[in-house]
Amino acid sequence: MSVRRLAEDQFQPTGFAFNAENAAWADATIRKYPEGRQQSAVIPLLMRAQEQEGWVTKSAIEYVAEKLDMPYIRVLEVATFYTQFQLKPVGTRAHVQVCGTTPCMLRGAEDLIKVCKSKIHPEPFERNAEGTLSWEEVECQGACVNAPMVMIFKDAYEDLTPTQLEHIIDRFQAGKGSDVKPGPQVDRIYSAPAGGLTSLTDSITPIRFNDAEVPGPAAPEAPANAAKPVTDAPETDPKLKTPATDKKAAAANTKVKGDNVELARSDKPSLEDKNRPAGIERPETPDDLKLISGVGPKIEATLHSLGIYKFEQIAKWKKAEREWVDGYLKFSGRIDRDDWVKQAKALAKGGEAEYIKVFGKKPR
Ligand code: FES
């Protein structure tokens, strides 16, 4: 660990006090601890001071020490030990913390650091000319599955490429950091497998993690032709969206609940259903459907098998067609939640440039 010292006097303000809102919050926080244990509030109070000022000043340390009736040296020890406390001014719009621990390093953290050096400052903890951006390398942030990643304030941005990090930094520099959705910047939910499930795929879907659903495995490949391919499942009643045999199986299945995970079987609509969107012959240059958030390589292959190759096809899907595809992919509403139609319209109209104009970020 590097030596962590307070900033030089030239940076130190003459005093510190919580504003009214933070003072009330601090009093309420201190009251949560049993009598005689109020000093346990030292970390939350220091963090709140950092959020108010942007970094932890000497005056803030003295203020917290006085408020908690602690020796100044004890609060100084805490502030200089934990690296989440910034001891000198950082960028006012973003302080980018790049994880440089092994999994992130193996997955491209060095290239992310190069981006920070070129876009912000060659040295960590130094601010750019406007004082709005700074960066540092940090140890593991606990998102190794989604390596490489960065933290900016309280949010993690994961599965990053250098281009994506450049875009994120640009948004923060423009004061529009809130436009960028934190979390994985690729087609995956949280830390679910990129590109779809690789296990527990035996007709079990969807899997729920809290309020989000992880798409199940791609449906079995159907013949890759434009027109309606032959059905791949028995169908006793052509009006039913679900083959009778599947319904029977579904009824016999069990929902497993617990630990925020629900496994449930789902039905798959018939390929002969009238709501299935019309397909086309494979064009010479299919669109890269993976640019649509929610479409990975497996899902793209399944869409191709249905004769879906172009953004303009998806852009025209009506509700019933969206529901059919959603059911076929076992997405449980994700097509509408991710608004594939709006994404496809933008991509069909003007490619990535139009997508950025509409959504304020690059596709995928
Ligand atoms: S190694 Fe980077 S988050 Fe764990």
Domain boundaries, the chain: 9-81, 94-184, 207-359
pLDDT tens string 79-103: 999 988 999 999 999 999 999 999 9
Please tell me the predicted confidence (pLDDT) of residue 209.
53
In the beta sheet, which residues pair with residue 209? 212, 261
Q: Is the CB of 143 under 6 A from ligand 1?
A: yes
pLDDT tens for residues 171-193?
999 999 998 999 999 888 888 88
**Which pLDDT score is estimated for 216?**
52
Indicate which atom in ligand 1 lies nearest the CA of residue 109: 2
Cβ 341 under 6 angstroms from ligand 1? no
**100 CB under 6 A from ligand 1?**
no
> Is 150 near ligand 1, meaning CB less than 6 Å away?
no
Q: In what order do the strands lie in the sheet with 207-209?
A: 212-214, 207-209, 261-263
* Cβ 79 under 6 angstroms from ligand 1: no
Integer angstrom CA distances of residue 324 from 131, 201, 274, 278, 329:
52, 21, 9, 12, 9
**pLDDT > 70 fraction of the chain, expressed in percent and rounded:** 81
| Position in ligand 1 atom list of the atom nearest CA 103 | 1
Whole-number Å distance between alpha carbons of 309 and 289: 7
Query: Which residue has tokens 């990643």?
Result: 149
b/e map of 44-73 (b: 16 or more CB within 10 Å)?
A: ebbebbbeeeebbbbbbbebbbebbebeee
Q: Hey, which residues does 134 pair with through a beta bridge?
A: 95
Q: Which of 92, 180, 99, 208 is nearest to 147 (CA)?
A: 99
Would you give the end-to-end CA distance of the chain in angstroms?
36
Domain 94-184 of CATH type 3.40.30.10: yes
Tell me, using a 6 A CB cutoff, whether residue 147 lines ligand 1. Answer: yes
Please determine, for residue 170, whether its predicted confidence score (pLDDT) is greater than 90.
Answer: yes
**CA–centroid distance, residue 158 to ligand 1 (Å):** 10
For the ranges 10-14, 116-120, 124-128, 227-231, the lowest mean pLDDT is seen at 227-231
Choose the weakest-confidence range: 92-101, 239-248, 277-286.
239-248
CATH architecture of residue range(s) 9-81: Orthogonal Bundle (1.10)
Residue 255's pLDDT is: 36
Is the C-beta atom of 101 inside 6 A of ligand 1? Answer: yes
Q: Which atom of ligand 1 is nearest to the CA of 102?
A: 1
| Predicted confidence (pLDDT) per residue in 194-238, tens digit | 777 777 766 545 555 555 555 555 444 444 444 443 333 333 333
pLDDT of amino acid 317: 94
pLDDT tens per residue, range 319-329: 999 989 888 88
Q: Tell me what the pLDDT averaged over the chain comes to.
A: 83
Residue 146 alpha carbon, nearest atom of ligand 1: 3
